[in-house]
A and B are shown apart, each in its own frame.
Chain A
């Protein structure tokens, strides 16, 4: 019995100790002039969809859930956000050339079409980030038109 007590103590202390490790927070009040929604003047309904479903990991500003401050969740989120922004950052849209915009749009379209994005691990908790079939179609049409306008 005693050994269990000690293990429980150690786990508890480890958990508490973890909380002192700082993480980088992805938050910014400034929306750069290069932002996708600004540059393309995206219609409000689509802009809301993109903000809800994509911007948490693909922009400079994440709306963190309440549990984000609890380790090891923060690490997990931090890693996801870093990777997401590395692939594509909506805030930096206009820094890309037309060629690269077109490539990004192609990836956006195919990933949404194949239900690869938003990630399941994300929609598991962010139920509002799931696109309905009609929303999916609206976004794909919008992105396709945008892509064609670049070519």
Chain B
């Protein structure tokens, strides 16, 4: 009888040490992956930009322009107007992709430095919108809107935009819209028409 339990113990030991060993290997791989994902956004973006400019030569479809980013932003705004958390999260994640593959080739060096900074910031807000509940999404949308205005100031816009402002939200929150009419993304149906047009940004293209 004793022999049996000794054998079992030995077997169990062997099994566990094997598992432990294989865990170690897995772990190492995971760590590498994590290290990669820990790369600062700026670095990642540089990579992506390099990648996209390489693709560029052969394939136009790989890169995005300011128009795509604006389209995502407007879709995000509509989701927030509708107080639709899931839709906003989905667009947020899509926007992360558009931001990361934004091609800045056409801009001056100075503009590129500025754009990189804005886009690093905007990417982080879009990422958070992709994984947060409604109140947080709206908080990040406020800063993201500021980023978008700064992007437009550099890239210009192919459609007329209206910069709108609601003084009720968190000490005042602005956003961009394609329409003059106010549809409030910070409150949705609770205060749909709160706000006013602050500025009209004329099409430059």
User: Contacts A103-B121, A103-B124, A103-B125 hold; do A86 and B20 have CB atoms under 8 A apart?
Assistant: no
- Let me know if B95 is at the binding interface, CB within 8 A: no
Q: B interface, by DSSP: helix, strand, loop or mixed?
A: helix
Docked complex: A9-42 residues within 8 A CB-CB of B: 9-10, 13-14, 17-18, 20-22, 24
- Let me know if A100 is at the binding interface, CB within 8 A: yes
Interface size class of B (residues with CB under 8 A): 20 to 34
Q: A interface, by DSSP: helix, strand, loop or mixed?
A: helix
In the bound complex, CA of A13 to CA of B13 (Å):
7
* B16, B120, B125, B143: the one within 8 Å of A17 (CB): B16
- Let me know if A69 is at the binding interface, CB within 8 A: no
Least CB distance, A92 to chain B, in whole angstroms: 8
- The answer to whether B117 touches A97, judged by C-beta atoms less than 8 angstroms apart, is yes
* A6, A14, A106: the one within 8 Å of B8 (CB): A6
User: Contacts A18-B20, A22-B24, A106-B143 hold; do A6 and B34 have CB atoms under 8 A apart?
Assistant: no
Docked complex: B106-135 residues within 8 A CB-CB of A: 117-118, 120-121, 124-125
- The answer to whether A17 touches B124, judged by C-beta atoms less than 8 angstroms apart, is no
Interface residue tally for chain A (C-beta within 8 Å): 24
B-side interface residues toward A, CB under 8 Å?
5, 8-9, 12-13, 16-17, 19-20, 23-24, 27, 31, 34, 37-38, 40, 117-118, 120-121, 124-125, 139, 143, 147
